[in-house]
Structure 1
């Protein structure tokens, strides 16, 4: 493979000898042009084709040639008689580059009946439509792309007769005259178009691409009788162009605006696709329809019969080219390629810049500058004279030379034109110097891909429309990785796409290379691109069955977010867990945990997370909320019995919240009590949890007693209340024996017992029982609880009984004040001789004027200072 861009600093152009004459070269160049109206056309030879066999006859094959100088696909036409010579009778699908060098081949077994048509999509996928409506797709290496597509039962029952392709779609017509459309092979959806109502097959068919229609849907033009049917994808059918037909051929221009058609009486008509008018018409010398009708750019139309190619334009006489061998016309955006058995040519309009320089007798500034370079090389003073003549137009002359160089296919002529531009630039300060450098860079790339080994003869206009990134993508798909990498580096584009594709391709074709050796080869290239995804290459290695190599590759992936999922995909769960915990990303850790949870037995998961604190803690946090049983198994496996006990205890409380699981009528040894007993036993296993064990034991005992009380009283008010509340409720219900039993069982202190019973009796306003209770013995808590209970019940009379028994005059004074007995409160307060207490009580009773007077008198008598 030849590449002209290896050395960025040294020009690769061959040096021109001073003896060469630019003027004579210009005459020779212009002599090959043809004049169509006032426009010149040229037809340079791109390649002498290098077919693998000299007996290849294009007329005996079905062909598909990709636009933008793409590959050529050939399948022998089984409808024609072919002399095989030494060839095999087995038909093959063969793919060549534009120079005739074979890229790939595969047997064509004709599984779906006769081949109706084939074409390349914009992504260079070869689409083959067979008679039964099956669509087969191949890449440039003849690999069949699965799954195969189908146009449906209608086409299977009624064979496909004709199909018309465009960028990424196809329209087919079957024997019942039904139209079927796939508008995008990237998202293949078969649409049956409107009912045509035809009784005979259309004479011709053409397609207006969706991007050029108002509706955004494909429109099909059918030549029927003396008119044209316009069929829309949504089912609409309308008659247009009445009286124009019958039309034998139709073709839409590359911009979707114009239609060229050939009528039954030999007229070539060009009109807008809305059929509003006829732009021009030309009467051909024959009424026989041409074999091919294509556009040559946007300025002319090509018609081909057997041995003659006719080029017709809106002005002037047509141009005729005679061929003694069959040719295929390939329309391009700026011309048309002509493929014959032996050559690939490019018919295009001569660019304005080229015409201004090389037109015979031209006195344009660019022509004088080009001629000045010739005189300069021959050391003639005429060079300076030419420069003086074009001094004011020198920038335009330099620009024309640069532009003309871009349109040339001959490297030596490119060099001469760029030298002329550089020569003029030396005397022109206004011209931007970067223009010549950019053009030189573009031409280096174009010359590299035009070499016969690569076989992509792009013109500069096609290159700009295609874009460098798409060109690199096509080189990559053709496995021209080295050239694609060098061009990417040369143009400053991202090399990651190239290296990634190379690595994946290397994995596919290197099954015999041992994993360690292949790893070194891959790493040597992958390290060239910073930030490249090792995980993506590892994923491809896994898909090709090299799991060990995938594991070795993924170790070099710096991003955990890419590394961890792939490790899980190749079964390296333990490594994935380690990498995720090292990253500290909780989302990644949970991803690994859930994956292992589904794939591995529980004990394996427990063993893996036990030594990883972060993963273990996250697992516990999740399981504590959603998976109690699983968490209990984990704690049991790690000997954390107290944690299991806590979970059991928590479950018992959760059951209490669910009436269906823990209703008030459950048995004495119900689920809750069993859970608490289990928790108590587990707590008892460790010395550190004696308190928890005792608490669980008493909790279970309390639940049993509360259950018995609910059964005996038939009132569901005891379970889950506290010991104090249980005693208080028993007393309120008059069940003093049960209250005493609870007191005894749980060793409730006498002070607590008195407080509970006093307030319970006050709650039911049993004042006699309260008085009797106060006289049983001297209360261990004193009489203050009795006072508090009576006051809370708003029984002042009962409260006075016990206030008098209070030993502390301060408490007695405050109690009297609370029930509004100011005189008694004052007398009790006077015994304390506490001025602050007197003042506080006075403020408490300040709304009572009599009480305030009593406190003032008492203060004066005791000589306590007042507070103003």
Structure 2
């Protein structure tokens, strides 16, 4: 078996490498040469979109560009039409949380989920990108972009996408290539951008620019190692150089046969470097002497996907994994190996064949048996072939039976890890993790990736097998179900959710209900929150969905006074005081707790509450508040009720105000010093009641809070003379004021017949002056002429005639007053009329002559 396992290994200096086929891809009609491709590390998904920068033959493919997402086995997860709103696609890559980041030439960043759903759109900024983006380079959760003006910008973290402009490069042409040293590997803690310019490298940071590596350039390709310590470069003369990140010295170099730069340059772990041209993949590693690189030939395009322990190789037809063969595997399967692990593995083979040589091998390695068992366990963990995993673990178990010093849990733990890895490596899941990648990724992150891909069954089984918290999985499933099951009625969906949620004790129904509320299914949220056993989570959610009364009831049932206070303060801040008082008045525990709090911290608040509820005895007995203060408090509360926005939409809302004013009147009447206030409150309550009845009868909310005079005027204008007369009688409005009010009101609506009829009912107590004034103010001279002759005072008649421009009649009326001085004043007021002035002069001369005689 050792010869079979090691047959395809490749020796590079003193290290073996192997290339494993992970999957035969299940996709169809996907040509990597015609597409832009983004592959996530740690066995993540593959995003493919047709490259609009290339002329391609569409075959049977749709003319619409589609963004398609596959798992590593080529099984399509999702797709969406790419509408290309921001111009040409410059680059795309997966972030650490498996968000697909796509950047177009206008500086727009589109973020997609694994299901090709547009999560959000970011704009790097028109002020920053007045020029189109030419190139971008991704790492982890960040990206570096360079535009047509050779300005460099950086988004250090897509979770907090604040673009940062780096120092001015002063470039006049595009750099030959670009690389990035991630912030975690720099002294400053900020990203460093390496730009290959002419024969040197320009290190661009936020604070400045420096030049390095002038003696080794020009550089046509650069790539930084996984730990940020080394940089692999391909120079203009076809030399591969491995340099420290400060370009201080050459750690390794190899002269390639061709000076043409490779299409791709990638690190294979930390042991070798891959150079990819059209049809050849060259693997180069360090050596002490003459180096013979390893060559792999391909007749189809490939994409290199660097991993922490190797490189995944994606082609049109397959997904492969190139890695250095682990030392434990070499010790077992290297041809001719006599290492203890190889002898132990061979002993198992003899044991299966019932050969006595099995015991002989064990005696040979008895002192090294723990190391041999450890090597078999370690080699099993690095294997992708399940049958070989099983054989190696059997060998380890066989050796463990004769080794008391070996930790027995190690085999069990490795078995558990391999079961998980084999499950996620299945083509339907398509996450080909190695054991080293799995340990770096951690099980919790793996569960998160399964959840993001909506592989809830696999996530649940793995969580259960690893004895992890299953609540996260079930919660994610429930929230996803609510999102996608919009057509299922609330009652049916509730039954389906409860059937699964009950599998996990202590699960937060409130969190699922909160997601239902956010999804617009408030009824479902209310039904779900009823099943939440923890009041501390139930009550806040009830408040957030507007169920204040239910929240108060649940808080009271819990016996937690803090929760009760939480609800009380929420209701008090959210709505008007009247609603707050109504809600807590009927609940004794809530009412008592509120009174206890308010008595200690907010006396005015307590007074308002007790005043609004009419609990006067509570104020007098327990709080020793004078009656007049309570009465004023009633009036203040009554006035504050007018601020209710619904008060203008119907008079029934004013009934509590009337009750408060009447309570105030009773309290004022019990004190001798507030007779006026008592009478005023009585009148106000009576007026409000009349106004409320008027609004209810006439169905117009225009009376409440107007004065008595305005109420009468409004009634007359609306034609309700009986109501106007009733208000006049109730509030003892004088006859003189009544005539003034009604005359002007009738003139306002230009009801001249009614005005004339009103003037003839009886002789007006103040004469006909109101009628004349009303007609003149309404600019109706013809109507005014009807009433001017009835004015008893000649001077009033003269002034009235003068106001409507009847000069002769004014002069005639003025002459009857026999007041020469009045005639002079009147003449000066109409001096612009020559004929009228002549008449006035005649009458004044006549009066003067009569005086002389």
User: Could you say which residue in structure 1 is the equivalent of 2:834?
Assistant: none
Q: What residue number does 1:162 align with?
A: 135
> How many residues end up aligned between the 2 structures?
646
Q: For the Cα contact (< 8 Å) 1:645–1:680, is it kept in 2?
A: no
| Residue pair 2:241, 2:252 contacting (<8 A) in 1 also | yes
Tell me the alpha carbon deviations over residues 243-293 of structure 1, each in whole angstroms, 9 at most, x when there is no partner: 211100000001111100000000000011011211010000011010000
Any unmatched runs of 5+ in structure 1? Answer: 1-24, 657-676, 686-692, 702-868
Q: Does residue 526 of structure 1 match 2:501?
A: yes
CA deviations on 1:644-664 (whole Å, 9 max, x unpaired) are 6677945968999xxxxxxxx
Q: Secondary structure at the match of 2:523?
A: helix
Shift in Å, 1:601? 4.9
Q: Aligned pair in 2 of structure 1 residues 565, 432: CA closer, same or farther (>3 Å)?
A: same
Q: How far apart in 1 are the matches of 2:299 and 2:598?
A: 83
Instruction: Measure how far apart 1:599 and its partner are.
Output: 4.4
Q: CA deviation at 1:562?
A: 1.5
Q: TM-score, normalised by structure 1?
A: 0.71
Contact kept, 8 Å, 1:645 with 1:679, in 2: the verdict is: no
Within a 5 Å distance, the mapping from 1:39-58 to structure 2 comes to 39-51=15-27, 53=28, 55-58=29-32
Deviations 1:485-525 (A, max 9, x none): 11111111111111111110011111122222211221222
**Secondary structure, aligned partner of 2:314:** strand
- Paired with 1:319 and 1:136, the residues of 2 have a C-alpha distance of 40
1:255 equivalent among 227, 243, 248: 227
TM-fit CA distance, 1:444: 0.3
Residue of structure 1 equivalent to 2:195: 222
What is the 5 A alignment of 1:77-226? 77-146=51-120, 148-154=121-127, 156-226=129-199
Asked whether the equivalents of residues 31 and 316 of structure 2 are also in contact (C-alpha less than 8 Å), the reply is yes
Using structure 2 for the length normalisation, give the TM-score.
Answer: 0.73
Aligned residues of 1:249 and 1:263 also touching (Cα < 8 A): yes
Give CA deviations for 1:368-399 in whole Å, capped at 9, x if unaligned. 11111111111212212211211111111111
Aligned to 2:14: 38
Instruction: Measure how far apart 1:135 and its partner are.
Output: 0.5
The alignment's C-alpha RMSD in Å is 2.6
Aligned counterpart, 1:345:
320
State the Cα distance separating 1:91 from its structure 2 match: 0.5
C-alpha contact 1:251 1:259 (8 A) present in aligned 2? yes
2:260 is paired with a residue of what secondary structure?
A: coil
Contact 1:155 1:174 survives alignment (8 Å): no
Of 405-414 and 563-572, deviating more is: 563-572
Q: 3-state DSSP class of the match of 2:451?
A: helix
**Preserved contact between residue 300 and residue 314 of structure 1 (Cα < 8 Å):** yes
Change (3 A) 1:379 1:653: same
Higher relative contact order (CA 8 A, sep 6+): 1
> 2:571 maps to what in 1?
596
The 3-state SS of whatever aligns with 2:115 is coil
Name the residue aligned to 1:390: 365
Q: Contact 1:644/1:679 (CA < 8 Å) preserved in 2?
A: no
How much does 1:623 deviate? 5.1
1:359 aligns with 2:331: no
Q: Give the whole-Å Cα distance in 2 for the aligned partners of 1:135 and 1:419.
A: 52
Secondary structure of 2:30's counterpart equals: coil
CA contact (8 A) 2:631 2:665 kept: no
Alpha-carbon distance between aligned partners in 1 of 2:153 and 2:473, rounded to the nearest angstrom = 38
Q: Which runs of 5+ in 2 are unaligned?
A: 633-660, 676-853
Residue 123 of structure 1: how far off its partner (Å):
0.6
Equivalence for 2:35:
61
- Among candidates 311, 314, 334, match of residue 309 of structure 2: 334
SS at match of 2:53: coil
| 1:486 aligned onto 2:461 | yes
Aligned pair partner of 2:264 in 276, 292, 305: 292
Larger radius of gyration: 1
1:259 partner SS: strand
C-alpha separation between the residues in 1 aligned to 2:85 and 2:617? Answer: 71
CA gap 1:155/1:129 in 2 versus in 1, 3 angstroms = farther
CA-CA distance at 1:462 after TM superposition? 0.4
Could you say which residue in structure 1 is the equivalent of 2:481? 506
Judge conservation of contact 2:380–2:390 (CA < 8 Å) in 1: yes
- 1:593 deviates by 2.3
Work out whether 1:235 is the aligned partner of 2:207: yes
CA contact (8 A) 1:221 1:228 kept: yes
311, 325, 342: which one aligns with 2:283: 311
Per the TM alignment, residue 630 of structure 1 is displaced from its structure 2 partner at its CA by 6.5
Counterparts of 1:16-31 in structure 2, within 5 Å, are 25-31=1-7
Q: Distance in 1 between matches of 2:252 and 2:146?
A: 30
Report 1:708-857 matches (<5 A).
none
Q: Using the TM superposition, give the Cα deviation of residue 433 of structure 1 relative to its aligned residue in structure 2, in angstroms.
A: 1.4
Query: For the residues of structure 2 that align with 1:634 and 1:183, how far apart are their CA atoms?
Result: 54
Distance 1:606 1:678 in 2: 19
Instruction: After superposition, give the CA deviation of every residue in 1:518-569 in whole Å (9 maximum; x if it has no partner).
Output: 1122122222222221111000001111111101111111222221121112
Cα offset for 1:64?
Answer: 0.7
SS at match of 1:211: helix
User: In structure 1, how many angstroms separate the alpha carbons of the residues matched to 2:393 and 2:598?
Assistant: 74
> What displacement does 1:632 show?
5.5
Tell me, in whole angstroms, the C-alpha distance in 2 between the residues paired with 1:655 and 1:329.
85
